[in-house]
Structure 1
Amino acid sequence: MLDGKKLYVSKFVKKSERKAGCEEPIFTNLYVKNLGKDLTEDLLRDKFSEFGKVCNVVIMKNAEGKSRGFGFVNFESAEDAKKAVEALNGALLGSKNLFVGRAQKKAEREVLLKREYKDTLSCNFDELKASNLYVKNLDLSIDDSKLQEYFSACGRVTSAKVMRYDNGRSKGFGFVCFATPEEAKKALYTLNGKLIFLHLYLVVYI
């Protein structure tokens, strides 16, 4: 309970994964990786055959004929393929823990990678935006190093920039970026409205 309300806490699931969970795909072909170098296709077939009839097994090899550490197992039944994923994903085979999942077509993999990249970029942008402060009412004598020194009292400053005209004269405002959003927030609450150089009050925005 928090402020009279009952909280619900669960693992965050991306929108794409929530959609995928609503419509469970039907598949018979499995992608298997983390295979030991000495693992043969016959041994891999024997292991997966414990869960149903296996139609085909292939371990991908390099130009020298050595295992690349991954391969594919194709079941006759989608139900058996699903059982194999549930039982063997993360299971120890030899000295390594297997990864077993639905084999995806190239187009599907590309869509997934683009989506993951976009999500990562969005998270990084949001974090960067939350770590960056806009500062105005700067004295004309303040340069980048003085700005960084002043704000460093609140955390690790990764960059500090005073904006200037073409002739080099300060525009009276700039930007300060902290290593974390928490440090930026501390600076916002600590330094906004502070009197410096006896006559200037800092105005700080996130």
Structure 2
Amino acid sequence: AAAAAPKPEEEGDRTVYVANLDWTVDEAQLHRIFGEVDDLMEVRLVRDFLKRSKGYAYIDYKSRQRVEEAVKKFNGFEVNKRAMKVAPSLPTKPLFEERTVFVKNIGAEACEADVKAAFAQAGEVVGVRMPPAGEGPDAGHKGYAFVDFAAAEAVEAALARTDKVMLGGQEVVVARSIPMKDHRHQTAATRKDLPQRANQRLIVQGRHDREDPVKLSQQHQTTVYVKNLAFGVTEEMLREHFASCGAVQQVLICRHNSGRSRGYGFVEFERADAAQGALLMTDSVLQEREIVVSRSQRAITQKKPTAGQDEAPTGPDGRDKGKGKGKDKGKDK
């Protein structure tokens, strides 16, 4: 005999329902979050036909124990300042139609009467639905049908048949019928950590572009970043070290306010191919230390003076030359 159809509430034994997600939350982020609970099997973010998130998802685990653990841990957990709603998944309708079977691989020559006759021995057939392949009386059918019985017991009998059911010269496949889902027009909510009246997609895309190391390095193709510098290395030493790669336009070693080197700097070349060649200088030795060279994600910039003040001159050691310890007391207000 065929196995009994699973009860709707059994889905909650292994599946978590997650709602109130904003539009930027994707499968990877949900996997990182819910992966903190062991035995995660699958993440299913529900999307519309344009691949936009609908704001809810289903998370599958191996056991009910993991489901309860995930609900307890993540219900109310904030993602982008929006609290998730997490609960065991409970379908609002049966997983299968109680008195209907789905039949596929029907031959082109078979008609509704043939289908009805083939399943009459299982029980009283009250209707057969065969979707047409097109318009007009000669369009034919799509090769599948839904068979409606008067009683649920007839479905079990149809599934339990061991003999081959042939329709239109082809052996058909019989399975339980899954009801059509309600396609609600729903999209994910906005992010609470961004301005609500602004175009959030442009804001997020701008952030990604500014943080993408590949795009940033493409903007500054003539500049390389050099780290692991010995504290005694000067700009002139750094310039001479990279002179074999091509014409150097400018060099900057980043320093503390005291003038002491921070151990890293930048070299800007006149040509992009020279900067590309400079990448081969990584692991080369400068002042008894192996330096590391990579593409720069920013241009060389000098520290700007404070507004309303002239830039303080620097001495040979990089220290600022102050204008005196006292303050002018005779300034006009």
TM-score bracket relative to the smaller structure: 0.3 to 0.5
- Relative to the length of structure 1, the TM-score reads 0.39
Larger Rg: 2
Whose RCO is larger (CA < 8 A, sep 6+)? 1
Q: Which has the higher helix share?
A: 1
- Relative to the length of structure 2, the TM-score reads 0.25
